[in-house]
Structure formats: structure tokens, C-alpha cells
Structure 1
């Protein structure tokens, strides 16, 4: 029985190979830089999140508490991504939005955890922002864009 269980586990793991995964390198982006160029421009955390598809620790981003009117832009290329008016407190510890600025994102499939998640990428430079889930506010889009604060900069609206 143990051998059968081991064989089954190996078959399942083999089915989730990198050949079956969609990657962001398959897409063309307006801004393309080498890894060394990105490392020179981004902080260590920004590089980890945006270029290595990492995740910052929950409840650590100062952007979680921003409520003033403005625009959240890509920390790597300043592409406008989200408006404060579409931000909500999801309780997850990451900045959450129910929609992006139209045309600002690119999408990919992320299967790192063994199941498919919709990955949000900056539509201009391809930087990893976070993931999109269908457990957002039902009264709006129903989407929750769970975005790493390290992937964003905030620009307040002029008064």
C-alpha cells in the first residue's frame, strides 16, 4: 500500500512540470531590462517581489493604510495600476483592490502552489504584482486584487 501511495504521489508531482506552466517571459513588454539592470534600480524587496515573483510579509506595507485619493503605480516603471477609490480592506494584510485601471495589467497563470492562480503583472514591464481572486466585494466586481505593497508606489492626487 505504501508503494502505491508513493507511486501516486510521484505521478501527481510529475504532472505539474515547468513545461506545463505559463510564464511571463512568453509575453512582450514595453520595458525590458536585464536582471542586473533591475537589481541596480530596485530595492532588495522590490526586486524579490517584482522580478522573482516573491511575496512580502503580510501587514508590513505602509500602503495598507492609505485612504487618500490618488494612484498606485508600479514601483519599477511608474505605470499607473490602481486608484484609491477601488481599494478596500480585505483583512489579508496586503493592499487590495476590486479592479485595476483599464489596460494597465497583464496576466499569467501561477501554479507554484500546485493549483492555478491568476497572477497580476504590470502591463508595461511585466513585474509581478500579486494575484487576483474571486472573493472581493460582491457589490462591485467580486474581484480581490491582492497586491504586494513593495510592488507599488503611491502618488496622491493634486488638490
Structure 2
């Protein structure tokens, strides 16, 4: 598996499925955080989301920060093992926990002279990414679901424990 090869139909579908699961997880966690009265902490306001081939793209802000962050991931590459994801992994959960929650940048604000249209990207691959929010096509704009759709009592995903390793 080489990330530079043309993605298969299954890899394209995986990227789309992972992105949808990640967006759903973000919406559920945003509701939980709002209900627990932890304003701003681990809230992700997604403005754009899309896939191209096996790669997913996510643009978001993390209130109270006003910076636009971007996450790009080739979903053929596992974050926790060399090679592809295996059938028991939940890539969306790992992207949420490791890329978003663990690296939560909500405490960072724009400085005087910073361009608010600039995207600060993380992930892989980082080459050839749009530099500004205005460079993103309108068709990639994301509208979060209504709050009722993210009711955590009805739609909470199963808890999947991370793998544990011992020497």
C-alpha cells in the first residue's frame, strides 16, 4: 500500500465513511460538552469537510480560538500501527482523540497582523493544500445536524477500548 498510488473504490468508500463517522462523533461530543457546561473546551466548529480519493479534509475552529485549523489524513495509513487500519480499529475515533482532542488548540488566538483567512493544517499529506478558507469550494461547506440528531442517549457509538501493549 503506497499513499501515492491511485486509491481503490474500497479506499474511497473508507475515507467517506470515516469522515461521516468523525463528523457524527464531533457533533455528539460538542453536545456532551455543552450539556456538561464546559464551554469552549473540546468544541470543534466544523466549517468544511470533504474527501478526495482516500484522503479526508476537515476545516474547523476551536472556540474560544478564532483560528481556522485544517486536518488532512490519508485514511489508508493507520495512526497507531504501520500500514493500513485493521478491521477492528475505529479510525474516526482515533482521529478525534489523537488529532483533535489531544491537540486541542482552543487556547491559541490570532495575533495582531495574522490573516484570519489562513488555514493552519496538520496531518498527512501536507503538500498542495489550500492556504486560505476562501480557496475552498462552497460545495465543501459543512452544516452540522440538528441537535436532536446528536442526542447522546439514542446515538452514542459503542465504546471501543484502545489496544493495550505490554513488553
Normalised by the size of structure 2, how large is the TM-score?
0.24
Flag the structure with larger Rg: 1
